[in-house]
Amino acid sequence: MIITGKTKVLSVIGNPVAHSLSPVFQNAAIEAAGIDYVYTAMPVANEMLEDAIKGMKAFSVCGLNVTIPHKENVIKYLDAIDKDAEILGAVNTIVNDDGRLIGYNTDVVGFVKGMKQNGFEPAGKNAVLLGAGGAARAIIWGLVQEKVASLTIGVRNVPKVKPLVDYFSQYMEISLLDWQSETFDQALQGAELLINATPLGMYPQVDNMPPIQWDKVQDGIFVYDIIYTPAETLFLKTAREHGCKTLNGEAMLVGQGAESFRLWTGMEPDQRVMTKALRKALEQGK
């Protein structure tokens, strides 16, 4: 790749951001598409966020990804945001449209596309979500928009999660249950889609997983873990051995990045190339 004065610049900003794998798979997609772009990572201190967004206009940066801790705070510096970003209260992608900065949240698209690309249509299905961490808002909103038949959220601390569920209950009825209760086990028996949105099982705590009664889980349902390190968590391994179809968090990570790429360039990236680059980086990082 030769960078010239005509090369268009994309970047991810965060604090910290050196660990981000976005440059790995975005640059792989850029190379595969044969377009004159480059993607980098730029650390932005919390107090410098406004200046950084002004700099995006000043330097004609074409697009940004936004990661922790700036996803919420960046909104006030933008000219417009899309519906997903508005509902979630967070932006992870900014497009510079001739000096007009538009914010998007591509996590929803990444989450949903991951399932569909692996042959599972969530519409009309009974979904059970484990945990309500950082990605849960995008997951819940994605399931609402896909019109799942029912949504049950199992957590260890019901009062803590209740405000989140109350917020989304304006869009559909959601059951919030203690994941060690009999009522939750009953919901689990009817699940056709089971999602782990907790960090349980993430490297290095690979021997952990949510306290699921696997004898309550139907054989052959679709089980989705948004963790991607390790590639197969104990949760997914157990699900696979139970006869379930499984999917890890690579699909959501690459999917949201692919949607950002499309917004910036107007092109559909090769997600196979992106996934291959991501997996190689993850293996090298071990």
Domain at 88, CATH number? 3.40.50.10860
**Same domain? 217 vs 113:** yes
- Tell me: pLDDT of 286 over 70: no
Indicate the pLDDT class of residue 1, thresholds 50, 70 and 90: confident
- Summarised one tens digit per residue, pLDDT across range 66-88 is 999 999 999 999 999 999 999 99
**Same domain? 240 vs 276:** no
**Same domain? 269 vs 187:** no
| pLDDT score, position 194 | 98
* Active-site annotation holds for 71: yes
| Overall pTM surpassing 0.75 (yes/no) | yes
Q: What is the CATH number of the domain that holds 125?
A: 3.40.50.720
Note whether residue 3 is domain-resident.
no
| pLDDT score, position 133 | 80
Note whether residue 273 is domain-resident.
yes
- When divided into structural domains, the chain yields a total of 2
The domain in which residue 45 lies consists of: 8-105+254-284
**Same domain? 70 vs 163:** no
Note whether residue 197 is domain-resident.
yes
**Same domain? 207 vs 275:** no
- Summarised one tens digit per residue, pLDDT across range 107-138 is 999 999 999 999 999 999 999 999 998 789 99
- Summarised one tens digit per residue, pLDDT across range 204-240 is 889 999 999 999 999 999 999 999 999 999 999 999 9
Name the catalytic one among 54, 71, 83, 276: 71
| pLDDT score, position 22 | 97
**Same domain? 70 vs 194:** no
Indicate the pLDDT class of residue 31, thresholds 50, 70 and 90: very high
> In the predicted model, what is the mean pLDDT of the chain?
96
**Same domain? 278 vs 244:** no
**Same domain? 139 vs 212:** yes
| pLDDT score, position 94 | 98
Note whether residue 99 is domain-resident.
yes
- Of the chain, the percentage scoring pLDDT greater than 70 comes to 100
- Tell me: pLDDT of 42 over 60: yes
d(CA 260, CA 33): 15
**Same domain? 190 vs 238:** yes
